[in-house]
Structure 1
Amino acid sequence: MEDKKKNPNELRDSLWASPVLFSTVASFLFVSSKFKDGQNLGELAWFVYLAGWVSLILMALWSLVTRKKPPIPAAPIGFGFAVFFGLLELLFNHEHWPF
């Protein structure tokens, strides 16, 4: 077997696309808050969703500091999915908004 070296671009692309994972977990929490008597699960889902924005903001700042362009397939997908999911969940689950 070949010993494959880790490509630093893979990690960067994964961090740009990480809101997809956070949004998926948040959607499961939103759905389970509907079946359980759980205001707390709905609030937790919003915090999980907002945690997905942390990696996007940090990677955007890192790109500005290092003056590197964000990767084209991963960065727009991450931002687009986070915005789309946030608007969708705000439309359907606004009663759980914690702020």
Structure 2
Amino acid sequence: MHTTPGIPQHMHPVVALVTSGVEMDVLGLTYPEYSHEEREAVVHAHPRTPHFKEDIIQAFYDGIKHKPETTFGNVKADVLADKEPHFHRGNFRNVNRCSA
């Protein structure tokens, strides 16, 4: 799934649809564009766990904890920083300034 804002809608329609769903469900983007009834219908069809938000963060963490270098420049660095107090995220400025 491509998550750079403004890009998914130019990709395959399924990518655009899934991305829109994630942006609404996980990030709350476009939340006010849906009525309470519409949101409730989705939750009824696809129930959430009691700790849905924390479960998403945990799922991200479980998928990346063994490869922290892949978080450079993306939001998953935030997840590792939350779950691992000694995690040090990569710094683009340092990489750029220290490059050959």
> What TM-score, normalized to structure 1?
0.29
Query: Which is bigger in relative contact order (C-alpha 8 A, separation at least 6)?
Result: 1
* Between structures 1 and 2, the one with greater helix share: 1
> What TM-score, normalized to structure 2?
0.29
Larger Rg: 2
